[in-house]
Structure 1
């Protein structure tokens, strides 16, 4: 009886012993033409055994990379893709840059800073005013959640002015004016409800007309 401990190590266990043996046999073929033909068959077989790879981008390229890993990078065949080298495979991925904040208001988050930049680029008008109101209201919510205490509007205005480098200034307001936001929201709901009601009334009128016409036809 042959034990797995006496066999060659499975370099990618998810492909199983059979594919590992096919790759080992491919390495022993005498001509490159034979190895190319068998390597292509092995890659197709690997794709059939791992159908989930087809949902990934460039899955064919990954299969060829896996073939060379199974061969321990000791396989002389022509490949349709550049193969990742053993050194590249062993190298650590580049450390991702973490967003940094140059101020003391980290609790507002990066999305607030992005919205502030967007508001600065907008021309003066209702759209810009509404966006500034949204930013200020969300800053107030974030402040209350993070600091677990109530914050006054003038503090939010001061922070907004500082974060925007004095380009967005609400310090002249007494309090956050939510009327524009609520008005726009309610207006959209009202328009939707009015449209829905018009459709219902139109359907009811059509039903009345059809019923009246049927009644006249029966009398005739």
Structure 2
């Protein structure tokens, strides 16, 4: 007896429909009468819809079923479809590859927008609002530098980096940077260490309370025996 393994059968273009649906589609290709072939194709479409009842509320449900029918026939089926018959080229189009950004970020730990902000402020040099805007950028740079290096940044380095970003057109007052409110956020490892320390302290307290309670119960039993 010759065994019929799946790897010897024809390829299933849409395995989610199963081999029986593919065999139904293959039988449509053997029908010579176009009108009868179209009628049988609509019956196969109805069976395909019953296999996916949850998709009936989706947009263009019938259109997708007809596209799947043509795909399973390897685009060889010739019937009167209510929709335009798709071609192999239409369904095998690949999206264009995205181009990688070619811009070079000089100060990566600040991000690319910090340098843009500084250059925009440099173009508006002399405006009274530029001082407050530059302070906001400096605060942002301090925060990002702390997140990147996990240590407090030096104010001299912040002022120097601002001067380099602005091509020497901006000078940041160090005293103004020193007076700014710190917006540092503690890194995750520090928060975890603090949380772990609190849990250890709570465990010691509960263990001590449990030891005191056990000691009191022992004294109570000794007194009762006396």
* C-alpha distance 103-75 of structure 1, shift in aligned 2 (>3 A): same
Q: In structure 1, which of residues 85, 89, 111 is the aligned counterpart of residue 88 of structure 2? A: 85
Match of 2:21 in 1: 19
How does 1:51-200 map onto structure 2 within 5 Å?
Answer: 51=53, 60-77=62-79, 78=81, 80-81=83-84, 83-86=86-89, 89=92, 92-109=94-111, 135-159=137-161, 171-172=172-173, 174=175, 175=177
TM-score by structure 2 length? 0.52
Q: CA deviation at 1:81?
A: 4.3
Superposition RMSD on alpha carbons, in Å?
Answer: 4.5
Matched, 1:28 2:14: no
TM-score by structure 1 length? 0.53
* C-alpha distance 16-166 of structure 1, shift in aligned 2 (>3 A): farther
Contact 2:118 2:137 in 1 (8 A): yes
* C-alpha distance 149-178 of structure 1, shift in aligned 2 (>3 A): closer
* Structure 2 segments unaligned to the other structure (5+ residues): 184-226
* C-alpha distance 178-149 of structure 1, shift in aligned 2 (>3 A): closer
Larger radius of gyration: 2
* C-alpha distance 60-140 of structure 1, shift in aligned 2 (>3 A): farther
SS of equivalent residue, structure 1 residue 108: coil
Match of 1:196 in 2: none
Contact 1:11 1:70 in 2 (8 A): yes
* Structure 1 segments unaligned to the other structure (5+ residues): 182-220
Q: CA deviation at 1:70?
A: 1.0
Match of 1:208 in 2: none
Instruction: Decide which structure has greater helix share.
Output: 1
Total equivalences in the alignment: 176
Q: CA deviation at 1:71?
A: 0.9
Q: CA deviation at 1:37?
A: 3.8
Instruction: State the alpha-carbon separation in 1 of the partners of residues 30 and 112 from structure 2.
Output: 57
